[in-house]
């Protein structure tokens, strides 16, 4: 963009060298967000590099669904936070609440913590697998996650830019449900009565994932579609606490 705006300004040798290196990397399939070091998500700039998945516009639908379910001052858990896009956004959109974000990648957590600091978000970051790092009695009003959900056989057919992103954040096992199934099974024990689980998913999971949520104990579970009309997320809710007699 700047080259076109300043078309008549010659580049010095250092600038030309930097530009040629960026073009070389992009031609090799490196995502543009890794070259610029940032990606906008929910109207805010997030730092990204090859330690984390690049946030997608479709994932903003998870934020919309989550905000509709998270009560003021409520507690939210972001599992597999990556760049921190979900957890940081929830913390900023619902000030006064509590947000905990978990990831098993220490490198990804470095990126997420940096984004929280830069954007002024209060998020507690924990390293570990799914619900493992949480205290035994910790409970939330909402759990949200964009976990690895691409079936393993599809990974080599993804666009080359996507294949440059961390495989750990993409590979969902043979049917893509390996992490999603574990998330659904463990969620009721981590939610308060009436709590909700919001998960991004592969389009092939439209029937299987809601079923897994209901089998885990959720009262309701529905698949929702993205703007392209593809099944993109599941919203599951526990029954509310019974009113006192």
Question: How far are the Cα atoms of 48, 54, 188, 193 from residue 41, in angstroms, in the given order?
Answer: 11, 10, 29, 30
Is the residue at 1 inside a domain?
Answer: no
Name the strand (E) or helix (H) holding 200: strand 191-200
CA atoms within 13 A on the CB side of 219: 10
Is the residue at 27 inside a domain?
Answer: no
Is the residue at 41 inside a domain?
Answer: no
Domain of residue 129, CATH code: 3.40.50.150
CA nearest neighbour of 73 among 100, 91, 87, 53:
91
Beta bridge mates, 40 = 45
Percent of the chain with pLDDT over 70: 98
Is the residue at 18 inside a domain?
Answer: no
**Rounded CA separation 188/190 (Å):** 5
Is the residue at 245 inside a domain?
Answer: no
Is the residue at 42 inside a domain?
Answer: no
pLDDT (tens digit, 9 = 90+) per residue, 101-156? 999 999 999 999 999 999 999 999 999 999 999 999 999 999 999 999 999 999 99
Is the residue at 87 inside a domain?
Answer: yes
Per the structure, the complete domain to which residue 195 belongs is given by 56-237
* Whether the Cβ atoms of residue 23 and residue 30 lie closer than 8 Å to each other: no
Is the residue at 6 inside a domain?
Answer: no
The total of structural domains in the chain comes to: 1
pLDDT (tens digit, 9 = 90+) per residue, 12-68? 889 889 889 888 888 888 889 999 999 999 999 999 999 999 999 999 999 999 999
Phi, psi for residue 88 in degrees, rounded to 5: -65, -40
Residue corresponding to tokens 């997608």: 56
């Amino acid at each position: 963009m700047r080259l076109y705006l300043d078309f008549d300004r010659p580049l010095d040798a250092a600038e030309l060298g930097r530009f040629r290196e960026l073009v070389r990397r992009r031609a090799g399939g490196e995502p543009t967000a890794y070259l610029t070091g940032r990606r906008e998500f929910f109207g805010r700039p997030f730092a990204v590099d090859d330690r984390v998945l690049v946030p997608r516009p479709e994932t903003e639908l998870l934020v919309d669904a989550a905000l509709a379910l998270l009560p003021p001052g409520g507690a939210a858990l972001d599992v597999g936070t990556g760049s921190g896009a979900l957890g940081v956004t929830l913390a900023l959109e619902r000030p006064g609440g509590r947000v905990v974000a978990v990831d098993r990648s220490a490198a990804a957590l470095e990126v997420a913590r940096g984004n929280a600091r830069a954007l002024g978000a209060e998020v507690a970051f924990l390293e570990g697998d799914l619900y493992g790092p949480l205290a035994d009695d910790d409970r939330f009003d909402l759990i949200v996650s964009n976990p690895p959900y691409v079936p393993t056989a599809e990974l080599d057919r993804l666009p080359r830019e996507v294949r440059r992103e961390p495989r750990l954040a993409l590979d969902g096992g043979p049917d893509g449900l390996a992490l999603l199934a574990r998330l659904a099974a463990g969620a009721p024990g981590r939610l308060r009565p009436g709590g909700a689980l919001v998960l991004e998913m592969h389009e092939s999971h439209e029937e299987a994932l809601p079923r897994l949520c209901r089998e885990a104990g959720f009262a309701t579970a529905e698949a929702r579609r993205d703007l392209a009309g593809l099944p993109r997320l599941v919203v599951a809710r526990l029954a509310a606490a019974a009113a006192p007699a």
